[in-house]
Amino acid sequence: MKRLIAMMICTAAAMLSAACAGKPMPPQTMLVVQSDLKTNNGQSFYMLIRSVDTQIFLTESYPDVSNMVFAIPKDKSVLAAVPVIPGVEQKISVKKPEDTPLAIYCLFTEPGDQWKILMSPPLESRYIIHLKNNRIIETRRTFHQKRGLFQRWFSSEEEDE
């Protein structure tokens, strides 16, 4: 009896691993979100990540976007809706869109001018996003991950001297 149960478990495990191995994982983009304790006045907020056309991104209002976080049915463009806790670094992995830009929206309680950004393809595999107060301060992309080299992609603050 024990031998039969062990054989059934091994068979099930083999079938499961074969099923998982047959479907390759789509390319991913990693977003590393860094914020300080004062981001959004210390209150948690949602970050929405979407694959969206540039024209739609430019015309969307804050209420339009915020309504997508808990929409049922889920909007097809939404790749992730993630709570962000100020002062805690978070890593968010999303499916990399092939031909459409990647939009990142920070749904701050009182959004500043820079509450959303759009990244055009081709997308890198990793971005670092810095948040401060109620806006996105800077986005850097990794262009040589093994050496840790970064390129500033967007910044809403002037360079430190």
Name the residue ranges covered by the structural domains of the chain: 27-155
Q: What is the CATH number of domain 27-155?
A: 2.60.40.4150
Angle at 101 (CA atoms; ends 96, 103), nearest 5 degrees: 90
Q: What is the pLDDT of residue 26?
A: 81
Mean pLDDT of the chain: 82
Q: What is the pLDDT of residue 5?
A: 52
Radius of gyration of the chain from Cα atoms?
Answer: 20
Q: What secondary structure letter does DSSP report for 122?
A: S
Instruction: Report the range of poorest mean pLDDT among 113-117, 125-129, 133-137, 151-155.
Output: 151-155
Is 133's pLDDT higher than 50? yes
Q: What is the pLDDT of residue 98?
A: 86
Tell me how far apart the 2 most distant CA atoms of the chain are, in Å. Answer: 74
Model confidence, pTM: 0.75
Q: What is the DSSP string of 11-25?
A: HHHHHHHHHHHTSPP
- Residue with the bigger pLDDT between 105 and 145: it is 105
